[in-house]
Amino acid sequence: MLALQSLILIMLSFQYLQHTKTSRLLNHWRISLQEHRQRAYWHIEENRELRSALRAEKAHIEQLQRQVEILKALLPVV
């Protein structure tokens, strides 16, 4: 009877250790997922800012091209 109780205790201890390892692993994955989501959010925000800056630069280039065309039209033909 004592041997059976010892065996049950050993099995319960083993299951507890497995549960602890699994819990730590799940916690690690949860933290990794949160970090991944945060980096993805940063990338999305950075891409928005870059697209906005690119649109502004394109508008500036178009404005400069219009000014060049106006200046060309004002120059006397040689």
Residue 76 banded pLDDT, cuts 50, 70, 90: confident
CA geometry: angle 42, 48, 49, nearest 5 deg: 90
Residues 27-54: tens digit of each pLDDT: 999 999 999 999 999 999 999 999 999 9
76 three-state secondary structure: coil
SS3 10: helix
Structure token digits, residue 27: 């916690």
- Give me the residue spans of the domains in the chain: 23-73
DSSP characters for 24-47?
HHHHHHHHHHHHHHHHHHHHHHHH
CA atoms within 13 A on the CB side of 25: 6
Residue 77: which pLDDT band, with cuts at 50, 70 and 90? confident
Its pTM stands at: 0.61
| pLDDT of res. 55 | 98
